[in-house]
Structure 1
């Protein structure tokens, strides 16, 4: 059995978390010294030598881009230059909408396998079925392509057509299906009733996250009945992060007052504090937050805020530990700079950079035998060139990021449900200022 990496809906996949919001360049730092200008002159000289004398004519635009990225990656793993394509992808990710087909796919036996078509999307209307294998995209064989390459080929401008060659169990011959791309809106929050408990899974922090969360809570209240509803599980596992303002809004959804997060930049006057407003959407119902090594950045802001305010018990394994804020600075109409400009701190004033959120109740998720040895612990502290956290120690941050595809096999979720229903007990649940310890 192979490890399956799933891409949602032939769209953009959030990787490194972008927490900043778009802002214009508003000024310059102190003037560079004469030595800096001498070094820049050397750089210009080297560029001209390469351009004029390299064995084959280089692409000048690629040379400049590589030089810029070399400068930025020497700072930390999250600062980077966004060319036109990367900047467009980033905007697509944060909007939660893209031009595509509407299928969730994975790679199996060197073919793209359809996990599920999304309801009322071009793929579903064209007849693509769960379990189909895509062998060709516009006549080009899928074998030899990576999953991300195949995804890139399937997404594209709205109202453009694409032909998929489908291998379907029970069909005598490959099936040709023509699909016209359309706007695909990806839900940032998935939810379901687990009997008398509401389950909320925040997939990423896009512009749609708070609205999706608000709708999910309202739906679950109606479905379960507020008198029968015992509490909520907020699942932030495998959540890579996203927009800072959405992390603040999601935290605020469960708090009535107090600081949610603060960001501290290079200068003391750049410190910003974000506070909760009155109004808990779940009316103080018991909560458990699930985290693992795939919970990063914005998801750690939410977990840290709810943990520090003793609003929720955090259960799982240590989170990724990305405690830095990236600001997107437009350079011109098409390109931008993603630059680390601040570190964020939980309400207790703790930086989780390189340390992560430590759960109140630590429970490891068993990894299937066929995946053991192929899944390593991931964390900010293991990234080369990461910013050293003020609380970072030899233990570092992160843990294995694995969630079973079948909820019945999910040990962490199962324990959370038992605690909320009172079937098991733990001193950390429900949390209280008198007994809870600061786990960060």
Structure 2
């Protein structure tokens, strides 16, 4: 089996249920294709049997489920029918992070060929069905070409984005993972693939169509590889906001712990007398869960406090906060959005449950579980989770996400005007304390 880390779907991280029906037309299957579907069915069933965190998955007689559905997969005369059988099996778990991704969507999600080696220097979000630029890295190819926040991306490499977004949206429009998945799909098309540049058609701030050829440059940050994960560039930014007396940090992954934890510590220690502190994990798909415990320790001075608990088949992992000798006592704000997942949600949800942070932005991805994508013999992708996570407040984050205390939806107009509703609201709250 070909394995793909969830970091490449956006990245570590990648989770509220992937229940997808193919939009492709049904064609008669060859004997070999039928065999590949049967092999895929068996692989999916065995993976759940062997890797689910419960010995008896969701309390089901898993062997009985297999025996009931095996005749159906043998009779499946189209890819749609085969996927329906496998999704029927996974649906019975009533758990997120289990699903079949049709081959034609798997590549759009970065399942194959995603790369962290190059970038045009843009970040995007999908508002409705519009792909909007939300950030332009200083000195990047996009910045040099004059691309601005709020511009809408219409085409990449001559291919219109509307049908791609519509196709994915049909599968994820009821999922908390929608923003996470759609963002990953657009970034994959911008940054991955062959060639040293890519043609991108935008709708600019004056609603005029403009086409830019963007070179693929070195991504922002430091190249980092951890274990089996694909290498990614990890960056960390620190500044002062609100007139200079509010600390602010943002970073794109919970990875590269020696460097990132030191930078985080320096940012907090230099701000012990600040009016407040803001942690921005918007667009951060997660990483190492232990880093959330260490970061939370800079703001919680009591021992034996937990962000939450992760349950695996053979063990239980308590995310216990590690208090520092000297902690920041002022108000803490955490900024999140639909592309905040995994460790970002563990940190934000736990700090909220402990009453130590106020959350601003939009609901997170509801993708807190460690999960993996694998390519099946029939070419489809298979996502499965290997653990369950319950936040300290007693609720699962999976499929629900972290709901902000203050909802601050992003708009194209705000982007074009250089405004940041979530950051502005957090600053106003801190100043009012």
- Normalising by the smaller structure, the TM-score range is 0.5 to 0.7
* Cα deviation 1:56-112 (Å, max 9, x = unaligned): xx24xx65555333322332352224768489848999x9x4643211345799875
* Whole-angstrom CA distance in 1 between matches of 2:201 and 2:361: 42
Seen in structure 2, the aligned counterparts of structure 1 residues 75 and 188 have a Cα distance that, compared at 3 Å, is farther
| Counterpart for residue 72 of structure 2 | 46
**Does residue 339 of the first structure (1) align with residue 382 of the second (2)?**
no
Distance of 2:62 and 2:130 partners within structure 1: 51
Inter-CA distance 169–11: structure 2 relative to 1 (3 Å threshold): farther
- Does residue 68 in structure 1 map to residue 86 in structure 2? yes
- In 1, distance between residues paired with 2:335 and 2:425? 13
Shift of 1:414: 0.7
Contact 1:100 / 1:157 at 8 angstroms: preserved in 2? no
Tell me, yes or no, if the aligned pair for 1:289 and 1:303 is still in contact at 8 Å.
no
Q: Contact (CA 8 Å) 1:111, 1:133: kept in 2 or not?
A: yes
> Structure 1 residues 354 and 214 mapped into 2: Cα distance closer, same or farther (>3 Å)?
closer
Residues 163 and 178 of structure 1 are in contact (CA less than 8 Å); yes or no, is this contact kept in structure 2? yes
Q: Is the 8 A contact 1:11 1:151 kept in 2?
A: no
Residue-by-residue CA offset, 1:204-250 (whole Å, 9 max, x unaligned): 6532588546425535766x7x6x53442345678776653332232
Structure-2 residue corresponding to 1:154? 190
2-side partners of 1:307 and 1:170: how far apart?
40
Distance 2:268 2:261 in 1: 11
Q: Could you say which structure has the greater relative contact order, defined with CA pairs below 8 angstroms and 6 or more residues apart?
A: 2
Structure exhibiting the larger radius of gyration computed from Cα positions: 1
8 Å CA contact 1:261–1:344 kept in 2: the answer is no
Contact (CA 8 Å) 2:391, 2:397: kept in 1 or not? no
What are the ranges of 5 or more consecutive residues in structure 2 without an aligned counterpart?
Answer: 1-7, 18-49, 167-181, 221-232
SS at match of 1:101: coil
79 and 118 in structure 1: CA distance in 2 versus 1, 3 angstrom threshold: same
Deviations 1:12-67 (A, max 9, x none): 4877379xxxxxx67998799xx8656534533222322xxx4xxx24xx655553
**Aligned partners of 1:135, 1:415: CA distance in 2, in Å?**
37
Aligned residue in 1 for 2:39:
none
Rounded Cα–Cα distance in structure 1 between residues aligned with 2:96 and 2:297: 27
What is the CA–CA distance in structure 1 between the aligned matches of 2:260 and 2:147, rounded to whole Å? 26
**Alpha-carbon distance, 1:287 to partner:** 3.1
**Would you say 1:124 and 2:123 are equivalent positions?**
no
- Tell me, in whole angstroms, the C-alpha distance in 2 between the residues paired with 1:364 and 1:408: 8
CA contact (8 A) 1:255 1:276 kept: yes
Question: Of the candidates 218, 228, 233, which is equivalent to residue 266 of structure 2?
Answer: 218
Match of 2:394 among 334, 351, 359: 351
What is the SS of the residue equivalent to 1:146?
A: helix
Match of 1:260 among 299, 302, 306: 306
TM-score for both structures, normalised by structure 2: 0.56
The answer to whether the Cα contact below 8 Å between 2:275 and 2:430 also exists between their aligned partners in 1 is no
Q: What is the deviation of 1:293?
A: 8.6
2-side partners of 1:364 and 1:325: how far apart? 25
Q: Deviation of residue 299 (structure 1)?
A: 4.4
Whether the 8 Å CA contact 2:294–2:322 is kept in 1: the answer is: no
CA distance in 1, matches of 2:206, 2:391: 56
Secondary structure of 2:294's counterpart equals: helix
Q: Is the 8 A contact 1:296 1:319 kept in 2?
A: no
Partner of 1:16: 15
Paired residue for 1:197, among 245, 251, 256? 245
Q: 2:54, 2:420 → 1: CA distance?
A: 52
Aligned residue among 78, 92, 103 for 2:122: 103
* 1:189–1:209 contact (8 Å) kept in structure 2: no
Is the contact made by 1:324 and 1:340 (CA closer than 8 Å) also made in structure 2? no
